[in-house]
Every structure is written in structure tokens, then in C-alpha cells.
Amino acid sequence: MNVPAGVDQQAARPPQQQVHPKATRPLPSRLMAAGPGAGIAAHLATFGPLDAEAAAPSLPGMLEASGLTGRGGAAFATWHKALSASRSGRQGAVAPMVIANGAEGEPLSFKDRTLLANAPHLVIDGLLAVGRAVSAAQVYIYASSVSLPGVQRAVAERPRSSGIALVEAPPGFISGEASAVVNYLATGTAIPFDKQGRLSETGFKGQPAVVLNVETLAHIALIARYGPAWFREVGTPEDPGTRLASVSGGAPEHDVVLELPGGAVLTDVLLAAGTNPANVSAVLVGGYHGRWVRPEPYLIAPFGPAHRVVRPGAGVIHSIAAGQCGLQVTAGMARYLAGESAKQCGPCMFGLPAMASVFERLAARVPDPRLPSEMDRLAALVSGRGACSHPDGTARLVTSALEVFSDDVQAHLSGRCLSARWN
């Protein structure tokens, strides 16, 4: 690229270079319809302006009618958060804070950074609209170091949005947990705290906090413009709209962010990402706190029976190839998660390393028949015992691995491995 003399080379980069390298395919997207690296001009040309003030009164009702659920992992009803915070703001003396959460500490996720690189103005629109709707005292964008420079440029394009506080999220799996986010803003420590009630009601030291994933806010910006009926034109009645998914597992250059309709079929998603389900041994859906399943036509949706539905969680779909040992892969994840405990709850602090050790022995083909039952015992012991869902998520990962890789477990207990690499 030729850069004229006197022009800063960094600033003169074409906008495509802001796109996360994993977003290598065209995004047939509602959310990224303004194109790669869209600045304010492309954003307004595609979506038109959004008057946050005018949208505020009807926003909670529109969100309820849309059926939008959070896209950060918990799939909580978005309207309920907004409404309870606005009630708290009206009834109490302390106005709420609203936080756009782009920390994305999940190792297999790259959809939030891709969204922030391509559609930061939709996230800002959504944040300002919710801020107005709940009469927020302060609005924040809390984003990873990868995303923050692009967000800063986007905010600078909108002088009237200068009230947004930008905060760099510290690295780590737990730093994006909602109460850890609020704790970090209040005290500088990104660890969860034991909540007395919902953050959107009781918040931190009496100040309600609405923490919304950046993708959730981008959907809100579109619902505020086009209405709940438009949002429901895609997806299913139970799972309306679209969601972004970070799809990975093959060669890294094939990792891709896809925008999926609600209730998408897992095997269709694999095919859309260029992966033949026949060549896949298992798929981790939801991320490190998610669930292993076989590559079968599960619906990807936040609600429904486990034999038919797999929850999208943080929007991660990660496949492992036939011939890869799922027990070894899971052992590495369990050890990582044990290291990410904030070490303030006993079951998490001691239980997760113990689970990781048992799983490592299983992965290493130690012929001890007590290992699976010990894993089950530890998983039951830590579940529901932490201040946050970290122990539950870790337990979900390892118990799903024992189930899906049950043949591998039996082989490992007799000193063998079904993985082609070991035979």
C-alpha cells in the first residue's frame, strides 16, 4: 500500500486490517451488514441513525416482545435485566450503571472481538439506548486489549458519545464474569463477588449494574430500530433472532465467525464452516464451560431437553477430528480452568485442581478403575458451591467428556487409546 508522505502509516491502514484474522469469510450478517471495519459513515448508511432518547421509553417492552436472550453465556432474558434496573433506578436513590462486556476471556471465542472490529457503532448504539432506558448514571465499555483501540476510534467518531468510559479488561477466563466486571470497575480487582441478589437490582454496594455482552447490545440496537417482529423473522419462536458463533477446530485459517439463526442445527453449522461432520469425533459447544456432544443434528438453542438441544453458551463451536483423543484435550482444558479459579471459594480452589489431576491420570491411561467415579464425586462436590458458576461450568465440561468419550475411558483404563495417534 502506498502511503503519502506525512501520513501516519498506522492510521492509513485500510479498514479491513481491523478485522480479526479469524474472520476470514464473508459474514452474511445482520450484525455486520455495514461491512468489514465499518466506521460511522458506513454504519449510518446501512442502519440509519438511532435516537436513544426517543427509543428509551419503549425499549424494555420491545426487548420483552423480541425474546432476546443474553449472548454472553447465561442466556438471561435481556428485557428483565433492563426493566429491573430501570425500576431500581426509579425507586432507589442510586442510578444504575450499564456495562458493555467485551472481555471475552473464553479461550475458544473470537466472535466478540470480531464484532467490535466490524460493528462497534451498533454496540455503542445499544449501550446508549439501554443507558437512556434505565436512566444510567454511567455507561462503560469493558473490552479486551485487542478490541479497545478500535472501540476508542469508534467512540472518537461520535463526539456526542463522549460520556462513555472505556476500560481495558484484564486477561483471564473469569474477568468477564458479570460480578467480576462490576468488581473491577469498583475496586480494580476482577474477581466475582458473592451477590446478595441480581446485579441489575442490588448491584454493587447498592448501585444496580446492567452487564450486557457486546453482541447482546448490538442486537438491542437493531431491535430498537426495526422492532421485535423484525427480530423474530429469523430463528424459532423459542429461540428468535440470530447469534454469532466462533467456529473452530480444523486448520486455524478455517476458523470463522458465523451468524446463525436461533435453533440452528449443529451438523449444518459444521458444514457451513467447511467441516464434514463425518470427519469429526466430537464437538464442544458453549466453550470451556460447555458440553461435549457427538456431531449429530442437535439444535443449538438455550432451552430444551439435553437429548435434542445443546446450549450455545458463549457461542463457541469447537470440533475435534476423528483420531484425536478427547480425553487428552479435555484434560488440558480442566487444568487450564483449575488455574483460572479466583481462589476465594474452597470447593473451587481445591476441587478444580483435584478434578484436573484425576482427569490427567485418566488421559495418561493410568489403569485405575476408580477414576471415573472419583471424577463424578468431585464434580458433584463442587457444583453449586462457588460464588460464581466456574465450578459448575468445569464440572459440566468433564462430566460431558466422560459420557461422550465413554469408549475412550474404558480403553484408557485398560492401558489403550482409541486415538489413531496412539495405536
The site for ligand SF4 (CB under 6 A) is made up of: 174, 191-192, 341-345, 348-349, 386-388, 390-391
CB of 343 to ligand SF4, least distance (A): 6
Cα-only R_g, the chain: 22
Pick the closer one to ligand SF4 by CB: 266 or 388: 388
CB of 138 to ligand SF4, least distance (A): 25
Q: Residue 85: CB partners within 8 Å, gap ≥ 6?
A: 96, 98, 134, 200, 201, 208, 209, 210
CB of 389 to ligand SF4, least distance (A): 7
Angle between helices 111-118 and 148-156 (to 10 degrees): 30
* Residue 417 · residue 325 · CB < 8 Å: yes
CB of 192 to ligand SF4, least distance (A): 4
Pick the closer one to ligand SF4 by CB: 210 or 345: 345
Pick the closer one to ligand SF4 by CB: 273 or 342: 342
**How many angstroms separate the CA atoms of 343 and 339, rounded?**
9
Pick the closer one to ligand SF4 by CB: 280 or 337: 337
* Residue 209 · residue 200 · CB < 8 Å: yes
Pick the closer one to ligand SF4 by CB: 31 or 388: 388
Pick the closer one to ligand SF4 by CB: 181 or 387: 387
Pick the closer one to ligand SF4 by CB: 172 or 277: 172
Which cell numbers in the block locate residue 117? 472490529
CB of 205 to ligand SF4, least distance (A): 18
Which single residue brings its beta carbon nearest to ligand SF4? 386
**How many angstroms separate the CA atoms of 5 and 264, rounded?**
50
CB of 194 to ligand SF4, least distance (A): 8
CB of 19 to ligand SF4, least distance (A): 33
For residue 390, what are the CA distances in angstroms to 106, 275, 297, 376, 393?
Answer: 12, 30, 28, 17, 5
For residue 283, what are the CA distances in angstroms to 41, 294, 295, 329?
Answer: 40, 6, 6, 12
Closest CA to 178 of 59, 87, 74: 74
